[in-house]
Amino acid sequence: MDYTIRRIEEKDNAKMAQIIRAIFHELDAPKEGTAYADPILDCLSDVYIGANEVYYVVEVAGEVLGGSGIAPLAGNDANICELQKMYFAPELRGKGIAQVLIEKCLSFAKEAGFDQCYLETLPFMTAAQKLYKKVGFQYTDAPLGCTGHGSCDVFMIKEL
């Protein structure tokens, strides 16, 4: 599959919000306390603009089908970033693109000077957890920072 990974643009906001919300409906996942309810979901290109944050989208034949971002972990004084909003439309899954994207995100995080990368997910998102473990994330017992995702109760971290 031919695809492009690039920084999010304003024209991509609605599509990424649609993809993320659709996945929560597909999985019958909690809407509150997750990315679904994030107030920034409809304007991601306006949020990931700092020198130490980025949001990438995956584009296939001119259509955005997924994405993921890196930003400083809110509410944490340590030099930790967070892998955020990594979601893919069904037609993009199982093709190895998620690993390419996560590695691009982690490379950005390291270049931005972060020491660790943290993430939160839901317990039944086992395919995602398998990928996270494959690229070096390890489970941790307690949440870090203030993500606002109280429904996510799987916490992982990776040394960069």
Place of tokens 């599509």: 15
**pLDDT tens per residue, range 66-101:** 999 999 998 887 799 999 999 999 999 999 999 999
Q: Which residues contact 78 (CB under 8 A, 6 or more apart)?
A: 115, 116
> Domain of 26?
4-159
Please state the domain count of the chain: 1
User: pLDDT value at position 149?
Assistant: 52
Tens-digit pLDDT profile for residues 23-73: 889 888 878 777 878 889 999 999 999 999 999 999 999 999 999 999 999
Single pTM value for the model: 0.93
Evaluate whether 1 touches 60 at the Cβ level (below 8 Å): yes
Mean pLDDT within 122-131:
89
CATH code for the domain of 48: 3.40.630.30
Alpha helix locations (H) across the chain? Answer: 13-26, 44-47, 97-111, 126-134
What pLDDT does 87 receive? 93
For residue 28, give both structure tokens.
């019958």
Q: Which residue has the tokens 């086992």?
A: 126
